[in-house]
Amino acid sequence: MILPSQTTPKAAASLPFYDSDLCVKCNICTAACPVSGVTALFPGPKAVGPQMGRYWQPAHPAVDPATTWCSGCGVCSRVCPHGVPVAEMNIVSKAELRPGPRLSLRDWGLSRPAEVARWMRPILPLARIALRSAVLRRLADGLFGLAARAPLPDVAERPLSRTRADLVRREPAPRAADPRPRVAFFHGCSTEDYEPWLGQMTVQVLENLGVEVEIPPQVCCGLPLQSNHAFDAARQRARRNLAGLLPWVERGIPIVGTSTSCTLALKHDYRAVLGLAGAEVDSVSEGTYDLFEYLVHVLLPGLPDLRLQAVPLHVLYHAPCQLRSHRIGSPALQILRAIPDLRLEVSQTECCGVAGTYGLKSERYQVAVEVGRELFVQARTAGVDRVVTDSETCRWWIEGHSGIPSIHPVELLAAALGLPDLRRYGMSRP
């Protein structure tokens, strides 16, 4: 059993219960773990999770300090033949190793990307100079532990909600005599503040396919807070999202997102990691879809004739860890394979290494690079024009370490539908 080691009874009651006795010590999770495969500092998910949990006692709580090296990629839970939620155990245990009541300045900033973007926007030219300065990045590495060579995203001048204010709703619009399907777009803070063009492109694709799009009230999904051990703050964000999204779900309108980590938080983490429960949590979880999951399984089952245009590119598709944890396969591949002239290869790597904010930390940076090295080598060796992946942090990380532009699969679908390219570089061969 894994329980919080030094929390109040009230806090403990809000965390999930895990039974360590389900683990039979087969070590399949350790064999599959991308982190233990590149560093001896992490003995593996079984050793620090279910096995350590058997020694838990109220007077002598057992949380192995090596748990901090877990990236939370989720592969251990996916491969366990007995259904042990190993990754969830370790994520909860990591929070117990938080060094103090307050986060470090680095972890505070990494856990609040929306606030960082909002503060940077008034001084954006200066902020961009600072982020691109090798001297200042090395200084931040030494002072705050923000890895100097880790790629960081650029803050957009205007957030998506201002760019497409016509879609923002406080509650679902009254239903007129309109046969078109509707979705509520959960853009997440990455699309809102860092890649608003991706949100605009997604809306264009959905509208082109006959879908009406609305943007419900929302805040950051809370996963960056959860990943940096700020569970109470993550729960606050989760409850705000549940309240904002529930009116759409109650009207049978699917929640659709382009960020696999955000949709995984809504589907899974709110319940399995943060310990939230109730009808609204279940309803939002069951009503949430990854964008391509929605396209393939709800809107376009059987993939009718989309009349897709040729996209003459050679690409490598990488399914990110968060998408794999949805346990829905790789629905984007089904659509990408239907695009004429698109030469498609599939990644042979389990994880790109960054795991959200994990690889941005100085002490974790090299481990994250080693985890993703095979992916970078495969992309360069294959000579692809683009790497395609559904996760924003994976895109930034892969592009920064492979030198190859990395895109979301919806960009290829938009090009195949003949829609305008809103990215900083187009779909034509470089």
| Residue 387 forms part of a structural domain | yes
Written as one string, the DSSP assignment of 311-374 is ---EEEEE--HHHHHHTS--HHHHHHTTSTT-EEEE---S--S-TTTGGGBHHHHHHHHHHHHH
> Which of 32, 63, 95 finishes a domain?
95
| Residue 393 forms part of a structural domain | yes
| Residue 276 forms part of a structural domain | no
Residue 352: CATH number of its domain: 3.40.50
> Which of 95, 111, 137 finishes a domain?
95
What does the pLDDT read at residue 15?
A: 52
| Residue 396 forms part of a structural domain | yes
| Contacts of residue 160, Cβ cutoff 8 Å, sequence gap at least 6 | 187, 191, 192, 193, 196, 199, 200, 215
| Residue 255 forms part of a structural domain | no
Number of domains in the chain: 2
Query: Each residue of 392-420: b (16+ CB within 10 Å) or e?
Result: bbbbbbbbbbbebbbbbbbbbbbbbbebe
Q: Residue 228 gets which letter from DSSP?
A: T
What does the pLDDT read at residue 6?
A: 34
What does the pLDDT read at residue 17?
A: 61
Closest CA to 216 of 240, 262, 185: 185
| Residue 14 forms part of a structural domain | yes
| Residue 67 forms part of a structural domain | yes
> What string of pLDDT tens digits covers the 430 residues of the chain?
333 333 333 333 445 666 777 888 899 999 999 999 999 999 988 888 777 766 655 555 567 888 889 999 999 999 999 888 999 988 988 887 776 678 899 999 999 999 999 999 999 999 999 999 999 999 999 999 999 999 999 999 999 999 999 999 999 988 766 788 999 999 999 999 999 999 999 999 999 999 999 999 999 999 999 999 899 999 999 999 999 999 999 999 999 999 999 999 999 999 999 999 999 999 999 999 999 999 999 998 876 778 899 999 999 999 999 999 999 999 999 999 999 999 999 999 999 999 999 999 999 999 999 999 999 999 999 999 999 999 999 999 999 999 999 999 999 999 999 998 887 544 433 3
What does the pLDDT read at residue 363?
A: 96
| Residue 129 forms part of a structural domain | no
Global pTM value: 0.91
Q: Which domain holds residue 58?
A: 9-95
Q: Residue 65 gets which letter from DSSP?
A: G
What does the pLDDT read at residue 200?
A: 95
> Which of 95, 114, 140 finishes a domain?
95
Q: How many C-beta neighbours within 10 Å does residue 55 have?
A: 12
